[in-house]
Chains A and B, each alone.
Chain A
Amino acid sequence: MIKSIILLIVFLTVSLNAQLAIKGEVIHTMTGEKILNGVIVVRDGKITAIGSSEQVIIPENCRVLSAKVVTPGLIDARSVVGLGGIFNQAKDQDQLERSAPMQPELRAVDAYNSLDPLVEWVRQFGVTTVNTGHAPGMLISGQTMVVKTYGTVVDKSVIEVTKMVVVTLGDSGLTSKGSPGTRGKAIAMLRSEFVRIQNQINARKKAEKAKREAEEKAKAEAKTTGEESEQKAEKAKQSDTAKTHSPRNIRDEILEQVLNREVPLLVYANRHYDILTALRLAKEFNIKIVLDGASEAYLLTEEIKKANVPVIVHPSMWRTFGDKKNLSMENASILQKAGIPIAMQSGYESYVPKTRVVLFEAAIAAVNGLGFDNALKSITIDAAKILGIDSRVGSLEVGKDADIALYDGDPFEYTSHCTAVVIDGKVVSSTSH
């Protein structure tokens, strides 16, 4: 009795400030059971109530959207949308800088055109969050960021400015002129780069240690010889500070974050031996990696599982040439069944379609063994977990961001439509696509 009074009070409070309510014949919350004939109440960009229409009262004076099927806003775990512009002309292609093989300092946030029509394109199919940034194609091509797919000012819609550092192994990371021209050279360059950073860290640690020792020594001397020496010690400290503090280097800073396991490498690798190279690299330097593409990962489930590495699986409908020639539409299913965390992606396309739609790629994975539930997870909660943003997005729960997609039928069915999209409580699309 008391419980229901409290609940009633909660609902009344909700109703006073509610701005949006969404009714769904089926709501896939991604937290367990789906809700039949459910209601979601949204206030100030967050979900404030969710449950069956008997549990949750739709407050008065708020906009109500209805749909057959409701899911969390979709998450595309790997895209170049916003950087790879719709026109595919030299000056709207900011996803790949070819001036040097390794440029981890290139940030996605500085190259992202929030108003590129392809951002709107993926949004209208329910994609509300993307991990987007520099494309595969150079050994280290730059960074990715996590961003919501609406708004003009990227600084407002970005969730994480630096999410991952993009590495390419295999054919697409090689060049016919200069280095790396072979797989052997590519990995040697990568290892050398990390060794260089390790050397710097070690040298700094050594210098810091020496500094501490010198300070202690000077202090000890000061105690015995008096003030004159204390001044000397202070002087020594100042000159040591100058020695241990080298000028800033943004390239080395981000690589150091990788070595400190603060930023994972997103390693694009498709052939089985390139995937193994990635796992070897992760082990040697004790760095976090996420596999990107991984066409032949189905051959290496044991190794990938053992290495505890998540896979952002290639688009199911990717063109099968070169490194991707042995792609399987069952790859996602095989990896998922082996217990490897997976997410789907729209990936990078150099030609038409300039972007894929992760919903469509997940649909093809769904009907090739992955199944409806796991396929939906791979573009919502499981993607959020791999990206480390599951406290905010990826499921429909009270307190989470109100990122919601509405459909007039099975979202994976070819002939269904996404009828509305909500991001941070705002209706950002309300026409059928």
Chain B
Amino acid sequence: MNKWIMFVIFASIITTFADKAPPQAFVGARIIPVVGEPIEKGTIVIQDGKISAIGVTDSIELPKNTVVHDATGQVIMPGFVDTHSHIGGGGAGDSSKPLHPETSVFDSFNVLDSAIQKAQAGGVTTANVMPGSGHLMSGQTIYIKMRDGRIIDDLVIKSPEGKFMGGMKMANGTNSIRQAPFPGTRGKSAALVRGLYIQAQEYRQKIIDAKGDESKLPPRDLGMEALVEVLEGKRIVHHHTHRHDDIMTVLRLQKEFGFRVVLHHVSEAWKIAKEIAAAKAPCSIIIIDSPGGKLEARDLDWKNGVALEKAGAVVGFHTDDPITDSRLFLRSAAFAVRAGMSEQAALYGLTMAGAIMLDLQKRVGSLEVGKDADLVILSGAPLSVYTKIDETWIDGKKVFDRSNAKDYLWAVGGYGAGDNRPVEYCCYGKGKQ
């Protein structure tokens, strides 16, 4: 009888522990929480995928069963947020027309793309994955965590209401100027966009007027439904735009229709930084190793970061992967600093600014208690070429470890690094996913 009682108690202890993984602590690191001052000798504790404590090492009392990682000499930052990536090789709109609000990159994302492994090696934990810029509106984007998922659903971030999160990709300038039915000029581009938004406004009005009466609702329209989300600020427009006049056109349309917008690339933002800041439009900038390569990027300048910082705009970065390599995302911030941006703003740009641009600032972007345990563990100063990313953690799970041979291959490249991530079968024999 006693034996049985002992067994039940023992079993219940086991299950408790199995359900609840022990907390893990990284001790002795220089911690850059991004929101708040850096901690020279700090400790961060994570549990159940969230940050449970952070502070000066001496001030943090570790729970008894804590798994302790000695992080002396290392630097810990929040996982990076890449606001514009084409990882997974997906697309959305096709060449049949210039505006495709009904399509989504969700339906063509390859979760086994080795670019995901490389992004983990680069410390990217959250990304906005977009369709291309060859359309005025190429479709819906998805916000993902860089998890090793089996299916796309494992990666996409869900809103508190349980919906998959994402934005709407738009573009102006030369990329979307093509043969008919695409626009041939900038004037036509803007007119087509205005026409569509007016249609969406009318569609939305019909829904409001129906006051919940199903018989009065307009017939379902996938594109219009997505655009109603855009008009209501639930789906952010991510707008490819380069030239100063094209940027102003975006701001003009934004004002006319009231959607929320993040400006992407913005090669010539430094020419109109004041106007951008006044419009409160966040900018996601890219660092390219030389200007040009296309007409509208002729005046692309690394000083974009400092110009926008000084004007008071929110500045983030993106890889545009594969345009720049996700493994070198830190380098983008470093080059903005090379051109005069403050280090503080640059690190904010890699993390918190990106989180704001994706409506994820309550979950990611900084190291604060209650936020997702997305960490990048660095061997040294974040903006030095000599620094390596040692580990990347997402939701409290280690997804990249440079000391692991497989992960090392993704980090530096080599034979097989270009292939899809090998699949480990989940359900055969004793194999375990």
* A binding-site residues for B, Cβ under 8 Å: 85-89, 117-118, 121-122, 296, 298-299, 317, 319-321, 324-330, 349, 351-357, 360, 363-364, 366-368, 412-417
> Which residues in B have their C-beta under 8 angstroms from that of A89?
295
Report the stretch among B204-212, B255-263, B284-292, B364-372 that lies at the interface: B284-292
Selected from A317, A353, A413, the residue in CB contact (under 8 A) with B293 is A353
Distance A88 CA – B295 CA, assembled complex (angstroms)? 7
**Contact: B385 with A298, CB < 8 Å?**
no
> Which residues in A have their C-beta under 8 angstroms from that of B291?
86, 117, 121, 354
**Contact: B385 with A414, CB < 8 Å?**
yes
Query: In chain B, residues 380-433, which have Cβ atoms closer than 8 Å to a Cβ of chain A?
Result: 383-386, 388, 412-419
In the complex, which of the residues B322, B335, B412 has the most CB atoms of chain A within 10 Å of its own CB atom?
A: B412
Known contacts A121-B291, A354-B290; A328 and B328 CB within 8 A of each other: no
* B binding-site residues for A, Cβ under 8 Å: 288-295, 297-298, 322-325, 328, 331, 334-335, 337-338, 383-386, 388, 412-419
Distance A337 CA – B331 CA, assembled complex (angstroms)? 27
Q: Which 4 A-B pairs have the closest CB atoms?
A: A325-B418, A352-B293, A86-B292, A414-B334
Q: Separation in Å of the A301 CB from the closest CB of chain B? A: 13
Distance A325 CA – B419 CA, assembled complex (angstroms)? 8
Distance A357 CA – B331 CA, assembled complex (angstroms)? 14
List 20 A-B pairs, Cβ < 8 Å: A86-B298, A87-B295, A88-B294, A117-B292, A118-B290, A320-B418, A321-B418, A326-B413, A329-B412, A352-B294, A352-B323, A353-B290, A353-B292, A353-B293, A355-B289, A360-B289, A367-B386, A368-B412, A412-B385, A415-B384
> Which residues in B have their C-beta under 8 angstroms from that of A363?
385
**Contact: A327 with B413, CB < 8 Å?**
yes
> Which residues in B have their C-beta under 8 angstroms from that of A414?
331, 334-335, 337-338, 383-385
> Which residues in B have their C-beta under 8 angstroms from that of A364?
328, 385
Selected from A88, A321, A330, A357, the residue in CB contact (under 8 A) with B289 is A357
Q: B415 — nearest CB in chain A belongs to which residue? A: A326
Q: Separation in Å of the B121 CB from the closest CB of chain A? A: 11
> Which residues in B have their C-beta under 8 angstroms from that of A317?
289, 324-325, 328
**Contact: B413 with A415, CB < 8 Å?**
no
> Which residues in A have their C-beta under 8 angstroms from that of B334?
414-415
**Contact: A328 with B412, CB < 8 Å?**
yes
Known contacts A326-B417, A367-B386, A415-B383; A121 and B290 CB within 8 A of each other: yes
Distance A197 CA – B408 CA, assembled complex (angstroms)? 48
Distance A122 CA – B292 CA, assembled complex (angstroms)? 13
Distance A413 CA – B385 CA, assembled complex (angstroms)? 6
**Contact: B413 with A329, CB < 8 Å?**
yes
Q: B293 — nearest CB in chain A belongs to which residue? A: A352
Distance A415 CA – B323 CA, assembled complex (angstroms)? 21
> Which residues in A have their C-beta under 8 angstroms from that of B294?
87-88, 351-352
Distance A33 CA – B406 CA, assembled complex (angstroms)? 39
Q: Separation in Å of the A149 CB from the closest CB of chain B? A: 14
Q: Separation in Å of the A79 CB from the closest CB of chain B? A: 11
Selected from B293, B325, B412, B415, the residue in CB contact (under 8 A) with A349 is B293
> Which residues in B have their C-beta under 8 angstroms from that of A122?
290
Q: Separation in Å of the A276 CB from the closest CB of chain B? A: 15
Distance A127 CA – B334 CA, assembled complex (angstroms)? 21
Distance A325 CA – B325 CA, assembled complex (angstroms)? 13
Distance A296 CA – B338 CA, assembled complex (angstroms)? 33
Distance A175 CA – B194 CA, assembled complex (angstroms)? 42
Distance A368 CA – B325 CA, assembled complex (angstroms)? 15
> Which residues in A have their C-beta under 8 angstroms from that of B288?
352-353
Q: B330 — nearest CB in chain A belongs to which residue? A: A414
Selected from A326, A328, A357, A368, the residue in CB contact (under 8 A) with B290 is A357
**Contact: A415 with B322, CB < 8 Å?**
no
Q: B333 — nearest CB in chain A belongs to which residue? A: A414
Distance A321 CA – B386 CA, assembled complex (angstroms)? 26
**Contact: A354 with B322, CB < 8 Å?**
no
> Which residues in B have their C-beta under 8 angstroms from that of A352?
288, 290, 292-294, 297, 323
Known contacts A121-B290, A413-B385, A415-B337; A328 and B413 CB within 8 A of each other: yes
**Contact: B331 with A356, CB < 8 Å?**
no
Q: B327 — nearest CB in chain A belongs to which residue? A: A329
